[in-house]
Amino acid sequence: MSRAVMSCLSPSPSAEPAQRALERPAPTLRAPVAFGVPCGAGAGVPGTELGPAAARLAGLAAAFEHLDLPFRDDGDLTPEGLAPHPRRAALGRHAEIIASWIRAAHDHSAALLQQGQCPIMLGGDHALGMGSVSAAARHAREQGRRFILLWIDAHADFNTPETSPSGNLHGMSLQFLAGHPDLANLLPGRNFPALRMSDVHLIGARSLDRREREAVAEAGIRCHDMRAIDEFGVCALLRGILDGLDPAETHVHVSFDLDVVDPGLAPGVGTPVAGGLSYREAHLLMEMLHESALVRSVDFVELNPMLDHAGQTARLLVDLAASLFGKTIIRR
């Protein structure tokens, strides 16, 4: 039996009665605004800096036009200059460069959220989530909303400068967001709250370092690994996260690393790991998140067109973005 079928048969809220589906309120769509952050300095393999351009070439704007949404693309950000900070060498590889990019991502995301729009950050590597997520958490606090982070990724990105085997900052993003004191120097002068780790959900994990695995458990991050998805299905897991959350009082940020998808479907990533989400599991996540009306900010990161096969992963990114903003097989 396929995992998709198991998901629908799971003895949980996943087998939703038709009447409940009819009573579900229509999602409130916020105006999506994309912006590119062409930085790959946080990754170990070059190429993710080309990700925003590849997503556009794959038809991102056209996908939103078909949805009749007031989509806007603000183009690629340009950092004002290198961001100075102390002990830069000890923080990780290319820390000074990455600090400038995450500052730009933070400021642009914050401005869009203040305008009532839904930022869609196109990466670039996952270190850039330090900027977009911190801005979203800051905005949620200002609005008095609970902040929920869905880190959809094959990796936990919960290493520190001391525990990271590679020194690549895209593997430390969640530690930064948790308020690790050493990493705080990457984004000085921005007043944002450290995330409450019980409100962080790691979805699709299947490659964690030993010390990182221990740190995730100690921090209380909700880790929904591929074993859990195999066993319970996407429906049950996501409903367990979202049920009871009020869109008026909650800000959900979706940070989607394309390496969460099985590399047979998404070869264009720098750190592929076998056994990832299927095509339908990834789309089902996006479709359910759209229906929840909870999502207020989004990242799509780690697209590496230098490793892609004829644009396959870039087209997947576009299709997933469309599902997140309302594209369905049939009208529901």
pLDDT given for residue 89 in this prediction: 47
Active site residue 139: no
Q: Of the residues 49, 73, 125, 153, which is catalytic?
A: 153
Per-10-residue mean pLDDT, the chain, length 332: 40 40 51 96 92 98 93 94 52 79 97 97 96 98 98 96 87 95 90 96 95 95 97 97 97 98 98 97 98 97 98 98 92 70
Active site residue 251: no
Three-state SS sequence of the chain:
CCHHHHHHHCCCCCCCCHHHHHHCCCCCCCCEEEEEECCCCCCCCCCHHHHHHHHHHCCHHHHHHHCCCCCEEEEECCCCCCCCCCCHHHHCCCHHHHHHHHHHHHHHHHHHHHCCCEEEEEECCHHHHHHHHHHHHHHHHHHCCEEEEEEECCCCCCCCCCCCCCCCHHHCHHHHHCCCCCHHHHCCCCCCCCCCHHHEEEEEECCCCHHHHHHHHHHCCEEEEHHHHHHHHHHHHHHHHHCCCCCCCEEEEEEEEHHHECCCCCCCCCCCCCCCECHHHHHHHHHHHHHHCCEEEEEEECCCCCCCCCCHHHHHHHHHHHHHCCCCCCCC
Q: Of the residues 125, 157, 209, 308, which is catalytic?
A: 157
Active site residue 153: yes
Q: Of the residues 94, 106, 108, 170, which is catalytic?
A: 170
pLDDT given for residue 88 in this prediction: 47
Active site residue 157: yes
Q: How far is CA 120 from CA 12, 42, 317, 324, in A?
A: 32, 19, 12, 11
Angle at 276 between CA 33 and CA 47, to 5 degrees: 55
Q: Which two tokens stand for residue 49?
A: 């800096």
Active site residue 170: yes
pLDDT given for residue 93 in this prediction: 66
Domain ranges of the chain: 3-10+30-324
In the block, tokens 């897991």 appear at: 237
Q: Of the residues 257, 262, 281, 287, which is catalytic?
A: 257
User: How does strand 32-37 pair with strand 295-301?
Assistant: unpaired
What's the fold here for domain 3-10+30-324? Arginase; Chain A (3.40.800)
Q: Of the residues 155, 201, 251, 253, which is catalytic?
A: 155
- Asked if 29 and 326 touch (Cβ cutoff 8 Å), the reply is yes
Cis peptide before 124 (omega within 30 of 0): yes
pLDDT given for residue 315 in this prediction: 98
- Per residue in 130-148, pLDDT (tens digit) is 999 999 999 999 999 999 9
Active site residue 224: no
CA 40 from centroid of its chain's CA atoms: 16
Active site residue 107: no
Q: Of the residues 212, 287, 299, 302, which is catalytic?
A: 302
Angle at 177 between CA 47 and CA 216, to 5 degrees: 95
Active site residue 85: no
Encoded amino acid at 330, one letter: I
Q: Which two tokens stand for residue 226?
A: 């591929």
Phi and psi, residue 277, nearest 5° = -60, 145
pLDDT given for residue 2 in this prediction: 41
pLDDT given for residue 1 in this prediction: 39
Model confidence, pTM: 0.90
Q: Of the residues 94, 106, 108, 126, which is catalytic?
A: 126
Rounded Cα distance, 98 and 92, in Å: 10
pLDDT given for residue 19 in this prediction: 40
Rounded Cα distance, 3 and 305, in Å: 29
